[in-house]
Amino acid sequence: MINLIGTYECKIDAKGRLMLPSALKKQLLPILEEGFVLKRAVFQPCLELYPMKQWNELMTKVNSLNRFNKKNNDFIRRFTAGVKMIEVDANGRLLVPKDLFNFAQLKKELVLSSVGDFIEVWDKDKYEHAIDDAADDFGALAEEVMGDKNGEFGIS
């Protein structure tokens, strides 16, 4: 399992091409040739870039859902809406398709934020706003999610 580290600022050009920051590219080097999947985020106005192996593991879970249950079927449709396979070119660039570019309301300045085994792709202003909004209640959230009486992780 890959565990990506870091938050990086970069630019995207008018054609939707972004150059992976060298520190991030170095972490991805062993898996660059496998390709990636780029999709809309579920909870935020950003994109999620999954290495192919992580995407396949996630889709194994999604595909185990009973598609004869309407909620499951609706979820699968929405979860996979706009999903695109992405390759990184020889120069370390990747192309963000126009529909995903528009969904995330990307402008010129971006933030690539590692989230364990995938990367969030944010418009810089939206990222900073989301981080600032979460700052007020992050302590309470951390306590609820990570702390319990026995020192174990998880909701108590």
pLDDT interval class at 77 (50, 70, 90) = very high
Looking at residue 137, its pLDDT comes to: 77
- Rounded CA-CA distance 43/99 in Å is 18
Instruction: Residue count of the chain, please give it.
Output: 156
High-pLDDT (> 70) share of the chain, %: 92
Antiparallel, parallel or unpaired: β 118-123 and 93-95? unpaired
Looking at residue 152, its pLDDT comes to: 60
Q: Rg (Cα) of the chain, in Å, rounded?
A: 17
What pTM was computed for the model? 0.87
Please state the CATH superfamily assignment of the domain spanning residues 7-146 in this structure: Transcriptional regulator MraZ domain (3.40.1550.20)
Strands (E), the chain: 7-11, 17-19, 36-40, 47-51, 84-86, 93-95, 109-115, 118-123
For the cut 90, the answer to whether the pLDDT of residue 10 exceeds it is yes
High-pLDDT (> 90) share of the chain, %: 78
Looking at residue 156, its pLDDT comes to: 44
Looking at residue 139, its pLDDT comes to: 78
For the cut 60, the answer to whether the pLDDT of residue 151 exceeds it is no
Q: pLDDT tens digits, residue range 20-73?
A: 999 999 999 989 999 999 999 999 999 999 999 999 999 999 999 999 999 999
For the cut 90, the answer to whether the pLDDT of residue 88 exceeds it is yes
pLDDT interval class at 149 (50, 70, 90) = low
pLDDT interval class at 95 (50, 70, 90) = very high
Looking at residue 105, its pLDDT comes to: 96
Contact between 18 and 106 under an 8 Å Cβ cutoff? The reply is: no
